[in-house]
């Protein structure tokens, strides 16, 4: 089956920033005296900043006000932004550039659909800021995944109907968002284990066998 439009998640699909998220959240948790480990961090994949914070605060011994939660989220983002300064073209995941070039060669329209508010900075630092026909990110949406808003916005920017789009995701919440948008989903990494994913990718280059 050929797809005319492919929408990519960002973190964990195109670029590796997971470790930076972990380090920033770990610093917040340590400062607040809250237990946090990589298993908990794995629950945050594909989830918005505030929703991630709520997961972390499940282990907190105090109740935080909304204002305190917003301060924690802002502090985490400052730590994360500092870590993003280390990003280079080397942080683009294996096979990504080859896959994007292959899709373009076959006239497939490509977009990014990410809940991250740092999407443009990340794409710029890894040299992919001009690689896509459309970009929809966390600065433009009200609801994060598994709500389909960001994928529907990406499709709208591509001028495409949802049913003509294939989403590439690495997080269960992202797979659900794609399904909720009425799109087919190709899962990679953790998302490859999700039954709702129509396709599973061992590596990103496998996408070329599906979309073109």
Are 166 and 71 members of one domain? no
Residues 53 and 158 in one domain: no
- How many structural domains does the chain have? 2
- Does residue 92 surpass a pLDDT of 80? yes
The residue out of 84, 108, 124 marking a domain boundary is 84
Full residue range of the structural domain in which residue 74 is found? 18-84
How many angstroms separate the CA atoms of 19 and 45, rounded?
11
Let me know whether 97 and 65 are in one domain.
Answer: no
CATH number at residue 144: 3.40.50.1000
The residues, any chain, with a CB within 8 Å of residue 27's CB and separated by 6 or more, are: 76, 79
Which residue among 11, 18, 91, 137 is the active-site one? 11
What CATH number is given to the structural domain containing 57?
1.10.150.240
Q: What is the pLDDT of residue 1?
A: 59
Could you say which of 9, 133, 137, 206 is catalytic?
9
- pLDDT score at 47: 80
Same domain, residue pair 150 and 136: yes
- 102 with 9, same domain? yes
CA–CA distances in Å: residue 125 to residues 76, 85, 112: 20, 8, 15
Which of 115, 102, 119 lies closest to 141, judged by CA? 115
pLDDT tens digit sequence for 10-41: 999 999 888 899 999 999 999 999 999 999 99
CA 139, 144, 149 angle in degrees (round to 5)? 80
9 is catalytic: yes
Q: What are the angstrom distances between the C-alpha of 94 and each of 112, 154, 207?
A: 17, 24, 13
Residues 134 and 188 grouped into a single domain: yes
> pTM for this one?
0.87
**pLDDT tens digits along 134-190:** 999 999 999 989 999 999 999 999 999 999 999 999 999 999 999 999 999 999 998
Residues 72 and 138 in one domain: no
The upper half-sphere exposure of residue 113, i.e. CA atoms within 13 Å in the direction of its Cβ, equals 37
């Amino acid at each position: 089956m050929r797809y005319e439009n492919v929408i990519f998640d960002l973190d964990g699909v195109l670029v590796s920033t997971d470790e930076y998220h972990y380090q920033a959240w770990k610093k917040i948790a340590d400062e607040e005296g809250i237990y946090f480990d990589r298993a908990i961090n794995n629950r945050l994949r594909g989830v918005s900043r505030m929703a991630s914070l709520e997961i972390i605060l499940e282990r907190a011994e105090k109740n935080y006000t909304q204002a305190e939660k917003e301060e924690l989220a802002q502090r985490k983002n400052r730590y994360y932004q500092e870590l993003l300064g280390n990003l280079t073209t080397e942080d683009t995941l294996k096979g990504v550039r080859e896959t994007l070039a292959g899709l373009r060669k076959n006239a497939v329209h490509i977009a990014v659909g990410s809940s991250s508010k740092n999407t443009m900075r990340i794409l710029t630092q890894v040299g992919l800021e001009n690689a896509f026909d459309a970009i929809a990110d966390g600065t433009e949406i009200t609801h994060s995944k598994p709500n389909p808003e960001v994928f529907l916005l990406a499709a709208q920017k591509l001028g495409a109907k949802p049913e003509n789009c294939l989403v590439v995701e690495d997080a269960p919440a992202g797979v659900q968002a794609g399904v909720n948008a009425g799109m087919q989903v190709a899962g990679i990494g953790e998302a490859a284990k999700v039954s709702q994913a129509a396709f599973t990718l061992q590596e990103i280059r496998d996408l070329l066998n599906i979309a073109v």
